[in-house]
Amino acid sequence: EVQLVESGGNLVQPGGSLRLSCAASGFPLRAYFMTWVRQSPEKGLQWVANINPDGSESYYADSVKGRFTISRDNAKNSLYLEMKSLRAEDTALYYCTRAISSDWWGQGTLVTVSS
Amino acid sequence: DIVMTQSPLSLPVTLGQPASISCRPSQSLVHHDGNTYLIWLHQRPGQSPRRLIYKVSDRDSGVPDRFSGSGSGTHFTLNISRVEAEDAGVYYCMQATHRPLTFGGGTKVEIK
C-alpha cells in the first residue's frame, strides 16, 4: 500500500528555517515526480514545488522561489522541503503528494510561523 | 497563472439525489502532449484530499462509478449520480497542465 508520512512541522519565528521530510513506502519513489502542496484557511490549496524522479529538475511557486528548496533521496525513500526566511503567510498544513497530478497524499505536517 | 473557478460554493444535497459541480479554468488545459490534466479531489473533514478523477474523466482505483467527470475547453463538471452519506465534504478541481499548478476554491457538499 502506498504511504506518505510527513514530519518536521513546527512553530517557528518569522525569518526562521525548517526542514520537512516525507517518508514514502509501497512504491518505487525513484519512478515518480513528487510534489509539495500546502493548505491554509486563508488561501486554500496551493502548489509549492515539485521535483523530477532523479532530482535533477525542480520547480517552485513564485511565492516560495529562492526561499524553499525541494530535494529527494531515492535510496532513503524520502522527499524533503527546506524552508528558509519563513513568513507568516507560509503558515499552513504541508502535504507531500505523489506525481505531478497528486494521486496519493500524506496526512500533512503543520507549519506555524509566528512570533 | 490559471485561475480555477468552481461553482457552487456550497451544495446541499438529499441522499440518493444527483449532484453536479462546475469548474471553469481561465484558459485551455490542453497539454503539449494532447492530454488535459484536469483533476478532481475530495476532502472529508479532518482528512487529506483524495484524488477521484484525473485527465477529466478517468476514475482512480476504488472510486465508485457514481462519480463521473466530463468537459473540455474551459468548462468541466464533476457529477455524482446518487449522493451517499460518505460523499459529504469539499470537492476541489485542480489543473496540472501548466505551472504553477492551481486549484479551485472548493465546493462544500452537505447532506440535507
Residues with Cβ within 8 Å of A109's Cβ and at least 6 positions away in sequence, in order, are A6, A7, A8, A9, A20, A93, A94
Looking at every residue in chain B, the average pLDDT score rounds to 97
> How does residue A52 score in pLDDT terms, banded at 50, 70 and 90?
very high
Chain A hits for B9, Cβ within 8 Å:
none
B88 interfacial to chain A (CB closer than 8 Å): no
**A103/B105 touch (CB, cutoff 8 Å), yes or no:** no
The DSSP annotation for A38-97 comes to EEETTTEEEEEEEE-TTSS-EEE-TTTTTTEEEEEEGGGTEEEEEE-S--GGG-EEEEEE
B105 interfacial to chain A (CB closer than 8 Å): yes
What does the pLDDT average to over A92-103? 95
The angle at the Cα of B74, spanning B68 to B76, to the nearest 5 degrees, equals 10
**The predicted structure's pLDDT at residue B74:** 93
Q: What is the pLDDT of residues B58-94, one digit of tens each?
A: 999 999 999 999 999 999 999 999 999 999 999 999 9
**Spatial separation of the C-alpha atoms in residues B35 and B12, rounded to whole Å:** 33
**Spatial separation of the C-alpha atoms in residues B8 and B20, rounded to whole Å:** 9
Chain A hits for B54, Cβ within 8 Å:
101, 103
Torsion of CA B98, B101, B105, B110, to 10 degrees: 100
Q: What is the pLDDT of residues A102-113, one digit of tens each?
A: 999 999 999 999
Chain A hits for B106, Cβ within 8 Å:
44-45
**Spatial separation of the C-alpha atoms in residues B79 and B109, rounded to whole Å:** 12
B50 interfacial to chain A (CB closer than 8 Å): yes
